[in-house]
Structure 1
């Protein structure tokens, strides 16, 4: 397992932290991402409920991607922390896969737990899911 961590300061008004993690694209390693997600969300003073929602959302996004991942490749996760928001991008190598179905149960779970969710397929051999969670964001009723 390889872990890369990078922190960059941007602008005078605030700091933008970016943490990147690369690990084998296998479900056995998802606990590493769940732990990292919780730790980083706590750093932004998310509530316990917000942290748990984010952990579950990241886990669900990874599960969706792992079903499409090329065996023996890596899953990469990039966590961007800005003020009161965390953006998480998880990505895997695929073989000609299409974007995740936005009408299945897993996608509904993601959209219920995160404030913004998007699937990105910039190339035919890569798939990513990007989600954002804001501290204190009001949930729809």
Structure 2
């Protein structure tokens, strides 16, 4: 398994790059186009949730047919209804969603 670690400022301008990286990694390790899109969306939603006043740390753990994305940072203050929607999106598109301390861990397997 290989790991890629990034840290970005809490600015939405960087989300496009993170989504592109996630999609590229997923495609390169064998996910189909629908799964690639799911991964792109979950990384974006997790980063949006952590978009507060502190840097966001993102780790991609990749292997053949497996990707785990860990997004850590300070939670953003959002309305409860929006939080429910984000959680539902993550749970529908990732195979496994865990929240540990300040980290959202998303797993997708082929």
Same fold (TM over 0.5): yes
CA displacement at 1:60 relative to structure 2? 0.8
TM-score, scaled to structure 2: 0.88
Structure showing greater Rg: 1
Which structure 1 residue ranges, 5 or more long, are not aligned? 1-15, 122-126, 136-141
Write out per-residue CA displacement over residues 44-93 of structure 1, whole angstroms, 9 at most, x where no aligned residue: 11101000001001111111121xx3x2x311100001221100001114
Alignment partners' CA distance in 1, 2:74 and 2:84: 22
CA RMSD of aligned residues (A): 2.1
Alignment partners' CA distance in 1, 2:34 and 2:50: 24
Residue 52, structure 1, aligned to residue 64, structure 2: no
Residue 74, structure 1, aligned to residue 55, structure 2: yes
CA displacement at 1:27 relative to structure 2? 1.4
Q: Runs ≥4 in structure 1, deviation > 3 angstroms?
A: none
CA displacement at 1:94 relative to structure 2? 5.6
Residue 118, structure 1, aligned to residue 103, structure 2: no
Give the match's secondary structure for 1:45.
Answer: coil
Residue 83, structure 1, aligned to residue 64, structure 2: yes
Alignment check: 8 A CA contact 1:25 1:92 kept: no
Alignment check: 8 A CA contact 1:20 1:77 kept: yes
TM-score, scaled to structure 1: 0.69
> May I ask how many residue pairs the two structures share in their alignment?
107
